[in-house]
Amino acid sequence: MELSQLRTLIHVAELGSLSKAAERLGVAQPALSRQIRMLEEELAVRLFARHGRGMILTDKGREILEHATRVMVELEEIRAAAADLDTPLRGRIGIGFPPTVADIISVPLVAAFGKAHPQVELRLVGAYTGYLLDWLHRGEIDLAVLYDPHSARSLRSQPLLLENLFLIGPPDSGLSGTHAIPFKDLEGRRILLPSTRHGLRTIVEQCATEAGITLNVAVEADSYATLKDLVRHGHGWTILPLPPIHDDIAANRLAAAPLIDPVPVRRLVLSYPADRPVLRLARFAGDTIADIVTDHVERGIWPGQLLHQTSSA
């Protein structure tokens, strides 16, 4: 039994397709098919039921998948235990963020690496969660901060934060951080939001349904900078997390107020590929990101509920 076979099992089980797993892993499909077949022969069990639409785990396959996932985790624990934690690190690491997170984490993260591991080459990538997931699976980045990813056995995820979303208006709108706005009061307002492929839009639409209203989405824009500029010039209202506009509020370029009934929130997690070892560089980056999030929440810059314990990174 080889680790590559267990890695293949994890990805095929998640995607339900050899062709999709082959595309994700950058390996020819016949090679993955051979790995699954050899694993089934060695274990003398049928791991997947094949049909025209793909592959589904058998009952025995699901049981073995649980063991395979634990093996990959234990392998990383062995590597971590053997590492010399006092040696400055070298090398290159790719870290992915959603755009709203990149704006607030990038500077303190680069500073932390410069102090502890100055020889490391950092690659910081800002993109939406769907793209970051794909790059994680392909090995193009080593870890990523993600919003509400679907449960995936191919990821090892650590919850970070339940992030509150705020109503954002122009500076003369009268919005205040001390006066909450009922979600139903958004009915009839000219709302500016990201497109429907964006997770934030889905959360906002769900809240509108719960409040019993239909939003008047006048403009769709997937750029947060564009949304901020449009609001600042009086073209409507938007809903965003507070960190990307913290400086704009302090400079009286924008105003913000919390929303209630319901309160829109997003779940932020830190994710690593589960089928590859988490290198010390990635572990340091993840611990540092968690500490930065904690610091910003405790200082009131990032409103939300912490979901993790701080580290000593």
Percent over 70 (pLDDT), the chain: 92
Residue 224 C-alpha from the chain's centroid: 17
| 24 close to 8: Cβ distance less than 8 angstroms | no
What's the mean pLDDT when you consider all of the chain?
87
Question: Which band of pLDDT confidence, cut at 50, 70 and 90, is reported for residue 288?
Answer: very high
Short-list 243, 239, 228, CA closest to 299: 243
Give the list of residues 6+ apart from residue 238 with CB closer than 8 angstroms, or none.
167, 168, 191, 192, 193, 227, 228, 230, 231
* pTM of the predicted model as reported, rounded to 2 decimal places: 0.68
Give the CATH number of domain 91-161+267-306.
Answer: 3.40.190.10
| Annotation: CATH topology of 162-265 | D-Maltodextrin-Binding Protein; domain 2 (3.40.190)
For position 68, what pLDDT does the model report?
A: 86
Q: Do domains 3-82 and 162-265 have the same CATH topology?
A: no
Q: What is the DSSP letter of 244?
A: G
- Residue tagged 């499909």 (tokens): 29
238 vs 256: CA distance, rounded Å: 10
Question: Which band of pLDDT confidence, cut at 50, 70 and 90, is reported for residue 114?
Answer: very high
| Domain boundaries defined on the chain | 3-82, 91-161+267-306, 162-265
On the 0-12 / 13-18 / 19+ scale of CB atoms within 10 A, 29 is middle
Cα atoms found within 13 Å of the Cα of residue 287, Cβ hemisphere only: 13
Domain 3-82 has CATH 3.50.50.60: no
For position 25, what pLDDT does the model report?
A: 83
